[in-house]
Amino acid sequence: MPILVMKFGGTSVATIDRIQRAAKRVALEVAKGYDVIVIVSAMAGKTNELVGWVNETSPLYDAREYDAVVSSGENVTAGLMALRLQEMEVPARSWQGWQVPVQTTSAHGSARIEAIPPENILKKFAEGMKVAVVAGFQGVSPEGRITTLGRGGSDTTAVAFAAAFDAERCDIFTDVDGVYTTDPRICDKARKLDRIAFEEMLELASLGAKVLQTRSVELAMRYKVKLRVLSSFEEPSDDAGTLVCDEEDIVESNVISGIAHSRDEAKMTLISVADRPGIAAAIFGPLAEAGVNVDMIVQNISEDGRTDMTFSCPTDQVLRAQTALNAAREVGSINFHDLDCDNGVAKVSAVGIGMRSHTGVAAKMFKVLADEGINIKVITTSEIKISVLIDRKYMELAVQALHDAFGLDKAA
């Protein structure tokens, strides 16, 4: 039998009624002759609640116990989905990560999948099971401990299963009916894309778009997984959603495909650091060891041989960054006058493969922001994206202005 992977996000399984609706979609695919692997997230809001409990109990928590707590939400959803399918007389069984097993690294909180042996599930399919409901976001380390893949990790689980089982397709069901040019909740002119290149989706996901997790897009691109993003609340159809595909499969597109934003950003500046070889490694080494995800980096060199080093990171990692840098200063590996933290910033990015062949995108972006009176604090670029750090209070204005300026409400 051909295998289909279907992933349901938190809003798609937020209540018993929504789980039942999702189960009906699964049953439709079973009726078409598929063996189905269903990947489920925790019910909407549950993971945030569990993370909150962990932070309340232990702000500098043991990552192994963090994984033990926050992975439990997916287990509940998997069991409920399997029970619903059984009530519909569809042979189904729930699977936790360790039962498959989803073999991962030992990097708790951000583990990477190393292998998914298909034998256990394929054996059950051969015995008559039609649906394997797998708890997403989780796996098992070489030491036998539960691991999690990072927020949004159920997307990565789904694509990894599609690759491991050579699935015909991987459908990602969410609360939106596809990938949009920007967040429709911010810009009412946002337009759904019929297709988007893997590279563009990868940039959008890494820059704050919540539709897909970054690593899931990386996996899909690497293994050529047919990936479709669609809504669990719309009626099934062959042309629903957005297809994430190779650049060659897109006939023509706008210069810019989307505007992404990330609200939960912080800007940290080490003031008056010695300007010497190895200083960057001395700063960012401890941050990496502390699990701080550094993004934008800017270094300003002054005349007296000192430098200011600025970087951005998620707001929920500021405490870890401060702790790591102060500890490095205490042991003498780095020396700085002060550590300034600005928690009131946001990142706004323009993304498009058309930047490779079109000039003037950066100039246009900066002029649009200037015309709106928005000051740019930090700038970074790549071949197909431009990102700026601005005051958070201007984020929605920036997104709307850039979306209009680049004509993203109109198809190419």
Residues making up the binding site for substrate: 47, 74
> Is 378:312 a contact under the CB 8 Å cutoff?
yes
Cβ contacts of 232 within 8 Å, gap of 6 or more:
8, 9, 11, 12, 18, 21, 22, 25, 173, 174, 175
- Exposure of 62 by Cβ count < 10 A (0-12 exposed, 13-18 middle, 19+ buried)? exposed
Rounded to whole angstroms, how far apart are CA atoms 16 and 144? 32
Question: Three-state DSSP class for 404?
Answer: helix
For residue 199, the Cα-to-chain-centroid distance in whole angstroms is: 14
Q: Which residues are annotated as a binding site?
A: 7-10, 47, 74, 174-175, 180, 185, 210-211
- Which parts of 208-317 fold into alpha helices (H)? 214-223, 279-289
Cα separation of 126 and 132, whole Å?
12
Strands (E), 87-241: 92-95, 103-104, 113-115, 131-135, 138-140, 146-148, 169-174, 195-197, 227-231
The SS3 assignment for 260 reads strand
Chain centroid offset of residue 396 CA = 20
Alpha helices in 273-336 (DSSP H): 279-289, 318-330
Binding residues for ATP: 7-10, 174-175, 180, 185, 210-211
